[in-house]
């Protein structure tokens, strides 16, 4: 566990905030902050996902085929996310609503 006290001119608030990385920020006075962080399991990276996918394929399958399968999966996830976000950002739908 690590504790840091710091001055941040842009943090003009009083209170506390906890983020997913395992850090607690406490501001007892405006611009004076106390940061408490503790070790937490790191978030998975794309490289870790790729390595797992590579290891799961049989040895007869080439690395190029494994990469194509992994990249196709990522492209499909990105397209799905763009589709979901476009539903919220579509100006025509906002104008049509009363």
pLDDT per residue as tens, the chain (98 positions):
888 898 888 878 899 988 877 788 999 999 899 988 876 655 566 667 666 766 665 555 666 777 778 788 888 888 888 888 777 766 565 555 55
* pTM beyond 0.85, yes or no: no
The secondary structure element, H or E, covering residue 89 is helix 63-89
Would you state the pLDDT for residue 44?
Answer: 63
> How do 15-19 and 23-29 pair as beta strands?
antiparallel
Give residue 59's pLDDT.
55
Res 98: pLDDT: 52
State whether 56 and 30 are in the same domain.
Answer: no
Same domain assignment for residues 32 and 58: no
Q: What total of structural domains would you count in the chain?
A: 2
pLDDT of residue 13: 87
* pLDDT at position 47: 65
The answer as to whether 94 is a domain residue is no
- Judge if 30 and 53 occupy the same domain: no
Q: Give the structural domain span for 81.
A: 46-88
Instruction: Tell whether 25 and 51 lie within a shared domain.
Output: no
The continuous run of DSSP H or E covering 49 comes out as helix 46-56
């Amino acid at each position: 566990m690590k504790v840091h006290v710091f001055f941040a001119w842009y943090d003009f608030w009083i209170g506390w905030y906890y983020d997913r990385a395992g850090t607690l920020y406490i501001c007892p006075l405006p611009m004076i902050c106390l940061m408490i962080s503790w070790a937490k399991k790191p978030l998975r990276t794309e490289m870790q996902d790729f390595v797992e996918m590579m290891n799961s394929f049989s040895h007869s399958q080439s690395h190029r085929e494994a990469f194509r399968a992994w990249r196709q999966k990522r492209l499909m996830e990105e397209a799905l996310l763009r589709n979901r976000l476009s539903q919220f950002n579509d100006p025509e739908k906002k104008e049509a609503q009363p």
